[in-house]
Chain A
């Protein structure tokens, strides 16, 4: 009986050691490609497509740790990004002697501490009610950062923009290439930390809480601490993503840059990309970033641009809606699982044709 299960199981293998060299090679090639990207891609692509894709991936990664790994639903992603961005702005304005990398980390820590605070209710409430409480963070910070001019330095537009062009790690953020490399380094570093966490005891504790929290406590998992850690780490990453979004992508930001729509967008990214996987955040962000382009291209090709832009946007929303329902019902593990299946199928076809 168990033999049958063992034979049926390979598709569900968590990690296949035999595949490791292949993955490693893919990772190295991938790293070289992304490092060399600015040589081939135009500034427009780097600024308008690649940078937002990477930053949204990072934000998705942050939310995925909380929702996909620790099972805590949140609609407050935008709020934590906002906290990060406004904190970084405050440092740049009021403590200009603080080096940008340190300010970035500090902004992340402030956002993480905020997450910790707003994660406290999670030890008492779950599911739907937790969504409502995370939703409250969205409205609270939207109000806070508009209400007190200190946060936006009294700018008449209510927006925040850095007083002088930023240089991070000695790279000038003035140009598209510089911005790209900064975003790339930050996103890669935080992804590496997240991978370490989810493969370690921290990540196992999160997943145990997600899968069955009573059993987790009985087995010896500090469930309350695990939940708070998930909120803190998730908000740290979201805060850093918020800094990048505001100052490496948008240039200037306001409360509206991090509204509820942003929170939904990040939630959609992890649902479409795959809950509880690191790569899912990337797949989801790629999808969300590229779908509008693909639709635009299609409408140009098929209808020679006669389609109204507003209609296209509504069409795009409808596609998202349908896809999200479909993924939630049919494939909660999202694009990550679909692509895995594709790779497995191709692998079986080309490497072991008969087995």
Chain B
């Protein structure tokens, strides 16, 4: 396959604006297969907007991205999911009225084959699918040490555990690119270490390509293979963590930023 020679993701000249306000302008960068690429930058730099373009929630004004060799723009979220682009949201976007395991099984939707009639009548294909989905979801829950919470309604769980459920839901369908939007926000130091270790493990064991938005620079520089710095929708720097740490533009943008992100 020629795809092996290509990057996992090639973002090309993407621009996005909301009612005339530029959120992203002419952004290009590449993400190699199997790497963790961190997107950093002050609030409002366009990081989350970019993830929203990658999984089809927003349509870019111009530009495209090439995912596994196929040029894409303005795709439907479902299409992104089908192509294997998984996502965790900034604030947990779980299905709050459902149990942990049901949340995770929803992540298998794109693999569902049994029709409505087969499910209603409890025909063999629906029963086999239900058993398989449950087994796969349990397996994924085990990765996160969540089996004992399987039947708990998610809204009853603390934030840190919910985050893991969301990771499990994004992971269960076997994505080839995982987009993580501030997975460590709102956590204490211990939980941050735990989630960071999980992310590193997923990347290492499953060879999963990950794009990570994170404000905690200490963790970003340790975790990422590659860092892209955004400011006001433009790319400020792009390179390995060491180079980013010493980049004067980055230091200026961060120290100069009114939000004091470096302290986070």
Contacts and interface: CB of A to CB of B under 8 A. Distances in A.
Given A12-B153, A197-B119, A207 B77 contact: no
A201 B133 contact: yes
Interface string A181-206: 00000000000011011011110110
Contacts, number: 143
Interface string A39-83: 000000000000000000000000000000000000000000000
Interface residues of B, number: 49
10 contacts: A6-B148, A9-B149, A9-B156, A193-B120, A197-B120, A200-B119, A208-B109, A216-B95, A218-B57, A219-B169
A13 B130 CA distance: 20
Interface stretch (A221-229, A308-316, A336-344): A221-229
A216 B77 CA distance: 9
Given A14-B152, A207-B95, A218-B81, 16 more contacts: A5-B156, A5-B157, A193-B120, A200-B126, A200-B130, A202-B116, A202-B119, A205-B109, A215-B89, A217-B57, A217-B81, A218-B87, A219-B87, A220-B81, A220-B108, A233-B116
B95 A212 contact: yes
A15 interface: yes
B96 interface: yes
B105 A201 contact: yes
Contacts of B81: 217-220
A212 B102 contact: no
Nearest to B82: A220
B241 interface: no
Given A5-B161, A204-B98, A217 B77 contact: yes
Contacts of B116: 197, 202, 229, 233
Given A201-B109, A204-B102, A205-B109, A14 B151 contact: yes
A141 B169 CA distance: 43
B114 to A, nearest CB: 7
Nearest to A209: B95
Interface residues of A, number: 39
A14 B170 contact: no
Contact of A13 (B56, B94, B126, B152): B152
A341 B98 CA distance: 18
B98 A208 contact: yes
B186 interface: no
A218 B55 contact: yes
Contact of B158 (A1, A197, A219): A1
A353 interface: no
A252 interface: no
A2 B160 contact: yes
B44 interface: no
Contact of B106 (A8, A15, A214, A216): A216
A200 B114 contact: yes
B78 interface: yes
B46 interface: no
A211 B80 CA distance: 21
A12 B114 contact: no
A196 B120 contact: yes
Contacts of B183: none
Given A219-B81, A220-B78, A221-B109, A196 B152 contact: no
Contact of B112 (A196, A201, A207, A219): A201
